[in-house]
Amino acid sequence: MYYIDLEKLVNFTPVSNDFIDRYVGKIESTYIAVYIYITRRALKGKLPTVSELSDRFSLSSEVIQKIITYWDKEGLFDKSSKPSYSPSEIAKMERIDNNISELISTASAILGRALGQKEQSTILSLYDYYRLPVEVITILLGHCAEAGNSSINYIEKIALDWSEKNIKTMEEAENYLKLYYGDFSKVLKAFGINGRLATAKEKKYIEKWLVTNKQPLEIVTAACEEAVINTGKVSWKYADTILKDWLDNGIKTVEQAEKYSKEHIDELKKKAKSKPETPAAKPVRKTNSFNNFDERDYDKEAIDDLALELLEVEKNDT
């Protein structure tokens, strides 16, 4: 088999004229230097870690992360696959960056167990690959431990979500937890649902009400309670109809909502019956075609969604 050494073939690091025109002389030279070095290392087939960059440029890990985030937002980095760190690499990175040894030690204490090599590698990736600050990772680990699910796969799933939502400070992490594990639970409780987190389908409704429409929590829970009273069951569609109607009519307090609902109850019921379910539920086949699903993608949330859909079909059939 033939092999071509790209370094010998192309003995330079290419920088486009567009890059020079857009950035050179217009942003800090350190940002330029870090980007060129990362590009040079990419040609060798192995990207440098945050710790390596920190050591080479004599900059803190926080500054390196800020620089990487800048270039990522500029669209100059492609998403790479998550690295796996060997014990020797972990030990070397711990010597270079004190944050790493502190992070692994803190993770072990929070999770209540000694971490194996795979777990240490994943914890390190939260910092080095997902670019989450140590204090944010600490909050994330504490949340997982309190939720009773400290498996490394669950921790990484939450980290990916936080990374995609660009949660970079303690305040952002705490606000996120309050919303998704505090306010979301209160909405579920208003429907009489206890002891579990919202499913993906339910999250879309709650995010629409609380985040997109920015309706007060007490208004949202009042609509959920009213939906149960008027329909005799948990009806996200009916609650959505109520909240849209209240939003369109400037209803912002529970007192206003109670008065408005008494005057428009028949109209609301009519709207709820005519409005299709949103977001649309996937049709459930009555064949035993499990081959349509990829087993590797199954998780508790997906199973919860499927179970809820099956229950809806069963109710409609009876």
Q: Quote the CA–CA distance of 260 and 272 in Å, as a whole number.
A: 16
Mean pLDDT, rounded, for 53-72: 87
- Answer for the pair 40, 47: CB distance below 8 angstroms, yes or no: no
State how far the alpha carbon of 255 is from the alpha carbons of 186, 241, 246, 312, in Å.
Answer: 19, 18, 12, 33
Q: Does the predicted TM-score (pTM) go above 0.85?
A: no
| Lowest mean pLDDT segment, chosen from 29-33, 52-56, 79-83, 237-241 | 79-83
Q: What is the mean pLDDT of the chain?
A: 80
| Lowest mean pLDDT segment, chosen from 48-57, 87-96, 151-160, 257-266 | 257-266
Local confidence band at 155 (pLDDT 50, 70, 90 cut-offs): very high
Portion of the chain with pLDDT greater than 70, in percent: 78
Place of tokens 């942003």: 27
What pLDDT score does 48 carry? Answer: 82
Higher pLDDT, 162 or 75: 162
Mean pLDDT, rounded, for 35-49: 81
Secondary structure (DSSP) of 272-305: HHHSPPSSPPPPPPSS--GGGS-GGG--HHHHHH
Pseudo-torsion of CA 24, 29, 30, 36, nearest 10°? Answer: 40
What pLDDT score does 306 carry? Answer: 46
pLDDT tens digits for range 182-231? 899 899 999 999 877 788 889 899 999 998 999 999 999 999 999 999 89
Q: Which amino acid is at 289?
A: S
| Lowest mean pLDDT segment, chosen from 15-19, 41-45, 95-99, 154-158 | 41-45
What pLDDT score does 290 carry? Answer: 32
DSSP conformation class of 199: P
Mean pLDDT, rounded, for 124-146: 90
Q: Quote the CA–CA distance of 188 and 69 in Å, as a whole number.
A: 36
What pLDDT score does 269 carry? Answer: 61
What pLDDT score does 156 carry? Answer: 92
Token pair for residue 58?
């004599």
Q: Is 98 exposed, middle or buried (0-12, 13-18, 19+ CB in 10 A)?
A: exposed
Residue 117 has pLDDT above 50, yes or no: yes
What pLDDT score does 8 carry? Answer: 58
pLDDT tens digits for range 270-317? 665 665 554 444 433 333 333 333 333 334 444 445 445 444 444 444
Pseudo-torsion of CA 143, 147, 151, 156, nearest 10°? Answer: -40
What pLDDT score does 139 carry? Answer: 94
Pseudo-torsion of CA 188, 189, 194, 195, nearest 10°? Answer: 70
